[in-house]
Amino acid sequence: MSSRTDDVRKRMMKRKKERERMEKMNHSRLFSTDEERHGFDRIPSYDIGPDEGGHPLFKKEVFLFKVLASACLVLIVAIIFRSPSEKAETIQNYVKHTMDQEFQFAAVSDWYEDQFGKPLALLPAKNDGEEDKQDLSEDSEYALPASGRILEDFGDNGQRIMIETGKGADVESMNEGLVHFVGMKDGFGKTVIIQHGDKSETWYGNLENIDVNLYEYISKGTKVGTAMDSTDGTKGSFYFAIKKGDDFIDPVQVIKFE
């Protein structure tokens, strides 16, 4: 009698386990992915649920650390600029120079074009059809801004020279580059500044009119403006300067004038 009862109990337990196994199989099929149904491993998902952690590519601790470090850096710089000590003055000058320095788009664009060909879209690109204009003066590296004679030497002010031209004469870029300033400059008047691939700048001042736009990439020999007429209206003149780094250099050392 007891053995029969044990057999019945075993059969009932077996059926119960079988039902549980079938329920688990149906549940897994219901919530399985297409990949698992076809015998492949489940592809990991980066969707964030309400009770799940952050994205594996975004770490909140690292982000908060960067924000805190940035805030500390700003605070340190502010304290340095409030400090009257001589050591702080050196750091202040360095920060001012770094913030005032223009990014060398022309130099980066030339380097990228030499290495990889056409510049990236975010870099200033040369306009189509301008390559034929770049060989205006193949015998010399630079083109003359304008024909004329020097009225004021570099030694008179240490920044620029004054060139006398004909009335209404065109002033042209001595080399290709990026126009990164158009406006008024102390001691130069109405001025155009062009940034070149060798990290130098050419300044064209005392202009009557300006014919280029800010951040335009121009070729060598492109008209940047018109020389200012003299008071008697018979001649014209403009200022010309070359800046390398923080210093102006004598244009006569670079370009041979008439």
Q: How far is CA 211 from CA 220, 225, 227, in A?
A: 14, 5, 12
pLDDT at 27: 58
- Structural domain range at position 78: 60-100
Residue 153 sits in the same domain as residue 246: yes
Percentage of the chain lying above the pLDDT 70 cut = 66
Q: Which long-range contacts (CB under 8 A, 24 or more apart) does 166-169 make?
A: 166/235, 166/236, 167/229, 167/230, 167/233, 167/234, 167/235, 167/236, 168/208, 168/226, 168/227, 168/229, 168/236, 169/226, 169/227, 169/236
Residue 152 domain flag: yes
Residues 90 and 145 in one domain: no
Question: Which pLDDT score, from 0 to 100, does residue 103 have?
Answer: 59
pTM: 0.55
Q: Looking at the structure, do residues 143 and 218 belong to the same domain, yes or no?
A: yes
163 and 79 within one domain: no
Task: Give pLDDT tens digits for 60-88.
Answer: 888 888 899 989 988 888 888 777 777 77
* Domains of the chain: total: 3
Same domain, 25 and 96: no
Are residues 136 and 218 part of one domain?
yes
Same domain, 19 and 66: no
More confident residue, 31 or 86: 86
User: Mean pLDDT for the chain?
Assistant: 77
Q: With a cut of 80, say whether residue 227 has pLDDT above it.
A: yes
Q: Is residue 172 part of a domain?
A: yes
Is the pLDDT at 232 greater than 80? The verdict is yes
Place 55 in a pLDDT band, splitting at 50, 70 and 90. Answer: low
Q: Is the Cβ–Cβ distance between 131 and 221 less than 8 Å?
A: no
Using one digit for the tens of pLDDT, what is the confidence trace for 134-169? Answer: 443 344 456 678 878 889 999 888 999 999 999 999
Residue 48 domain-assigned (yes or no) = no
